[in-house]
Amino acid sequence: MATVKDLESEFLTIQEAAEILKVSEPTVWRWIDGGRLCAYRAGKRTIRIKAEDLAQILEPIGSVDGESTEDEEQTIFETMRMSLVEAASQLEAIEAAKTLRTQLLATRTGKELSGSSADLIHQAREERTETL
């Protein structure tokens, strides 16, 4: 039969969980609020986290030898893959940017801006100072 002492060793406070994972307490709270980490209320002001739930939040980002497995590569690729609607939207945005660039170049008689933005800002400030 489990004793209260056995149960206490299985549950962690927010502070203990943060210390174990070397993150801040607000990070642990964000994980709880976001549903990424399960927490349990034991009274009005007492929150506890199961040690096994804390261990499950950790996700490997590669294999032990530093190389990802085929399954991990496939999962990463599927996560990054765009839907056809997203791809079409991206292409539209690129075309709109090219059109805008062409329009802006036409207003400047086809010439690119010379120098960096900082140079232009300094030059404008100097001209403004001279007029004051």
Strand partners, 41: 47
DSSP annotation of 11 reads: E
Residue 95 is predicted with a pLDDT of 92
Domain check: are 54 and 90 in the same one? no
E-only strand ranges, the chain: 11-12, 40-41, 47-50
Is the confidence at residue 1, as pLDDT, over 50? no
Asked if residue 32 belongs to a domain, the reply is: yes
Is the confidence at residue 9, as pLDDT, over 70? no
Asked if residue 74 belongs to a domain, the reply is: no
pTM: 0.42
Asked if residue 116 belongs to a domain, the reply is: no
pLDDT tens digit string along 30-83? 999 988 888 988 888 889 988 888 877 877 666 555 555 556 555 555 555 666
Asked if residue 107 belongs to a domain, the reply is: yes
- Domain residues for the domain of 99 are 81-111
- Taking a C-beta distance cutoff of 8 angstroms, is the pair 107, 100 a contact? no
- Taking a C-beta distance cutoff of 8 angstroms, is the pair 57, 36 a contact? yes
Neighbour count for residue 12 (Cβ, 10 Å): 21
Asked if residue 43 belongs to a domain, the reply is: yes
Asked if residue 22 belongs to a domain, the reply is: yes
Looking at the structure of the chain, the number of domains it has is 2
pLDDT tens digit string along 84-103? 777 788 889 999 999 998 88
CATH number, domain at 19? 1.10.1660
- Taking a C-beta distance cutoff of 8 angstroms, is the pair 39, 47 a contact? yes
Residue 62 is predicted with a pLDDT of 62
